[in-house]
Amino acid sequence: MLALALAVVLVTVQLSRDANILRLAEFTLLLLVASIPVAMPAVLSMTMAMGAKELAAQKAIVSRLEAIEELAGIEILFSDKPAR
């Protein structure tokens, strides 16, 4: 019931801000499905797939969703690439 109330508030606020209807529908559906504990693996896979799609649209190379999951756990990334 709480998830439904949150979804109503989310839709109301975002519609007042002229948000993209399709993105709002996707997020609201994910919120409602995520409220069911059994559905969490499906929600995680869907969220990761949507993120991979956005990364691919930005010309980032995404070969495996597992790589994105591992990268999501990184707080600090050190790089040793010399400038030329």
For residue 65, CA distances in Å to 9, 40, 44 come to 31, 16, 11
pLDDT band for 77, please (50, 70, 90 cuts). Answer: low
**Three-state secondary-structure class, residue 83:** coil
Which residues have a catalytic role annotated? 80
| Residue 50 domain-assigned (yes or no) | yes
Closest to 31 in 3D by CA, of 55, 12, 10: 10
Q: What is the pTM of this model?
A: 0.42
Domain co-membership, 5 together with 31: yes
Domain co-membership, 30 together with 43: no
Number of independent structural domains in the chain: 2
- Whole domain around residue 56: which residue ranges? 38-74
Domain co-membership, 24 together with 54: no
Which amino acid is it at 3? Answer: A
pLDDT band for 22, please (50, 70, 90 cuts). Answer: confident
pLDDT band for 33, please (50, 70, 90 cuts). Answer: confident
| Half-sphere exposure (Cβ direction) of 31: Cα atoms closer than 13 Å | 17
How many helices (H) and strands (E) would you count in the chain? 4, 0
Look at 44 and 21; give whichever has higher pLDDT. Answer: 21
